[in-house]
Structure 1
């Protein structure tokens, strides 16, 4: 109660009033706020002092708690974590193409300094409200940062460029030129391939980034298959012709090392006559018909042939090398043999890369080599002649139909030794000169079996017999004075 005297119109009046509680409350609240503010300031100062030169709590790097650590500790941690990365070998491979890149080559290392700076910068941007928000967020919810991994990606690029030189293959367009009933040019298309450098690089980087999640890193080597794309030609075999000639069915080959120049010439000429012939479905191919006339007037040169029981020079020597090679391609392709004749004696040329019994002699008009095209599409015969390697190859193209070929190795049923060498006097040769005109060869009876099946059904089955007569060496002995 508060009494107060007042004089009004000469009279003294005493007023009694109650003192209000509000100002007291106000003073109390104001004092409390000031005290709380001081307390907060003190707490903040203690908090800041505690984390002076240290990362605020709640901050993590790749899930690793770094709150309370100083930047140097963070930096040292990532330096230690970088050491195993340098020892890792990344092996890149595709077929027999291999390259190895080490972690040292790639400069693999964690940027601990940068990670330490980023973590330490949380709550220290210099903007009051932003800093408070970051500190509170880290403290209540946690704030995770991603580590930084240094990679010399240019070294990955260099390795992939080097590998691509051996891996990349340019696709080949199909070629098909048909004139006057023969295929002059045919080359089936082939797919190419190309190292997908971008996809491979991304794969390598994904392997590396996975290592960031591994602690500690214990792996020493990583195998990474290269990403290789198929590159298709602009013009494929399928759309280059309408004959159904799409792929190689099979090939046959023979060697003719030791042949005289005339024989080599005849082999090349005869092979060119057969090259490019198309055989329609159901058609019969005749070697003699395709070859045509064999004489000096048609370009053939003298070479050794068998005539009247002797080896003598005659036009067309070497043609049987061509028919023999084609016979082997016919067998390997699984085609039906209509006519084939063996030689009367073993010829060394035909056994340079094959056993006996895989030969075929031709001589117009009595001996021919024929086969039937028992497929549903055209067949194309092509030859490849290599004078430097003394080799001849025949290739038969068409469309594969799933047939399977079984050819047994030639079986020598019996052998007969060659007769003794024969020496004959020759008055046309100077005395003392000896000239060999025939070469010894043992006789033999040989057989081989040939079977072609498709869908468990037999398409053709043959046993080819050869009865090689023994052959004696013949020498001419000069008697001319």
Structure 2
């Protein structure tokens, strides 16, 4: 091989070695520079003591802030406030202290700070560049004492709730009225749900409360229409029989002070109850199988009979009426109403468009039944009883004769047919 060729080969070899050495030096230099850049990036943008760029807490920019700086900014702008529960221009304030309402601002700042400082470096880098494109907004969480919240709502409900009261009529020297009251009931579930929703959404201010109303079944207007006496009847009894007097008084009280709305039915037995000692009745003479015998409740039929005659004159609609087997000595034939625990009841309905009020009173050996109603409903009628015999037994047909304002008969109503097993003594 010539020396010329050998020199050429040596030069090529040296060139390759230099290129290889330069490549290694270049790679080392590039790695060094990259390391410097990564270190700079890590130190200035990730592993520093500041929150990443483009980070927000409830729309507050906390980018490039230390945790202390961010906490100061958030606490000065985001604080729990009072909520006001409003009903009929009355406000009930719930302060944060009332329910221990707080924000987790410290934990929220920690979350913002650590968003690009997880255990994974590659996750941190990914998050850093993601948040540069799309900002990150972290929500503050609220906490409160649910027991205290429930107790506060209960307290508010006591201020709002009103028990529904039906209007009433009373008679004491005249006709008087107790007005009706519309019931109010705070919807506790709805109220609590609204408060919790506002706390979650950090909406403060007023919440209009939902209150359920319960309208009275009997209004003040209803009872004020009762303004006149429609019918009244009085019977006498001997006060020399204390047990019977007691039963009359007891039955009269139990069946009195009843407001009967239009179309409603009055049941004497339902009001007076079973004739038992536990219901306040005593043994006294009563008609059993056509004979007078001592039994519990003797005397209650005198009250039903007295009421029957008041019902007749007031124009009430009779729905159940039965005469005694023996004619009574305190009313004429055809004017008595027998009741017993065996199912025989005295019933009538209110046929008018206004309520009527039934009032019984006992005193000085008399029992009086009065029916009050609207003056416009007062009927113009007479009661007529036609007596006759059926197989030798006393009998009677009872009628109501209705007349117009000129006294002309407009209706003849047959009310009842009575047959008595034994004649009156």
Using the size of structure 1 for normalisation, the TM-score is 0.42
More strand by share: 1
Using the size of structure 2 for normalisation, the TM-score is 0.46
